[in-house]
Amino acid sequence: MAAYKSRVIDNIICDKVSGELDASLASEWVDKLEEHEAHSKMTLHRFHDVRDINAVNLSFDNLWSVAQRRLYAYKSGHETLAAFWVSTPLNYGVARMYQSLTAGTPFKIEVFYNLNEVADFLGIEQAKLEAVGF
């Protein structure tokens, strides 16, 4: 079963996506990101735990639409860091494809297999990321 969970810690939107990533789940994911952004006065960085995505039913057009929607909805223009924490070649590949689609934008996206690298990239203590507890 697909699921999306999120919470904000300090200035980082922490979320977890699991199950089959399809257009519906991707849309829910973006809806929640936009909601968090709308309710914040500061730039929010992102920590995406996508290690438990076990299937992808998302066309290139779906992924392109998500990237375009994010760019259109993101109004601040400030650089935003986004770290994807992955565990398999599948979730690594999808995250890298999204990274490619947002090249040259305010979104600085990196993909990592190790949580300590995620923490370093986001400038946060690893213990805070471990405590997210989805």
- Residue 66 burial (CB count, 10 A): 19
Q: 19's torsion region: left (phi>0), alpha (psi -120 to 50) or beta?
A: left
Q: What is the CATH number of the domain that holds 107?
A: 3.30.750.24
For residues 58 and 62, give the distance between their C-alpha atoms in angstroms, rounded to a whole number: 6
Total structural domains within the chain? 1
Predicted confidence band of residue 68 (pLDDT cuts 50, 70, 90): confident
Reading the block at residue 124, the tokens are 């946060």
Prediction pTM value: 0.91
pLDDT at 48 exceeding the cut of 80: yes
Strand order in the sheet with 3-9: 3-9, 12-22, 45-57, 80-85, 107-112
- pLDDT at residue 125 in the model: 93
With beta carbons less than 8 A apart as the criterion, state whether 52 and 19 touch.
Answer: yes
For residues 102 and 84, give the distance between their C-alpha atoms in angstroms, rounded to a whole number: 14
Its domain, for residue 69, covers 3-130
pLDDT at 76 exceeding the cut of 80: no
Residue 121 contacts by C-beta under 8 Å, 6 or more apart in sequence? Answer: 81, 83, 110, 112
